[in-house]
Amino acid sequence: MKKEDIKVVISDIDGTLITDYDELPDNFIEMVDRLNEMGIIFVAASGRGANSIKNKLQYEADNLYIISDNGSIIMKGDDVIAASQFTALEYKELS
């Protein structure tokens, strides 16, 4: 695979992007900006809720997306791009 073929970088947050001490790498913003310059989308993914991810990253960029709530919500900035949830009937059937 060539570097030019990379379109998206997706990273889990807990224990991958952030340390065991709940800290982002010092070069996080620089990395996201560099990916943006290269035309590459960066996605921070987690089982966490969207607000928890946003509070942790404290950064918005044109190429920064969030997958939250165990994959049920995809966001760019404050815009929800996709969301999936059980209907009340589906939930009741699972209970």
Q: Tens of pLDDT along 5-42?
A: 999 999 999 889 998 888 899 999 999 999 999 999 99
| pTM of this structure | 0.85
Tell me the C-alpha to C-alpha distance, in Å, between residue 6 and each of 3, 38, 42, 43, 63: 6, 9, 11, 13, 13
Q: How far apart, in Å, are the Cα atoms of 50 and each of 53, 71, 85?
A: 5, 10, 15
Q: Which residue has the tokens 């340390």?
A: 19
pLDDT tens per residue across span 37-91: 999 999 999 999 999 999 998 888 889 999 999 999 999 989 999 999 888 898 8
Report how far residue 72's alpha carbon sits from residue 84's, in angstroms, rounded to the nearest whole number.
Answer: 5
Core vs surface per residue 54-90: b (16+ CB within 10 A) or e: bebbeeebebbbbbbbeeebbbbeeeeeeeeeeeeee
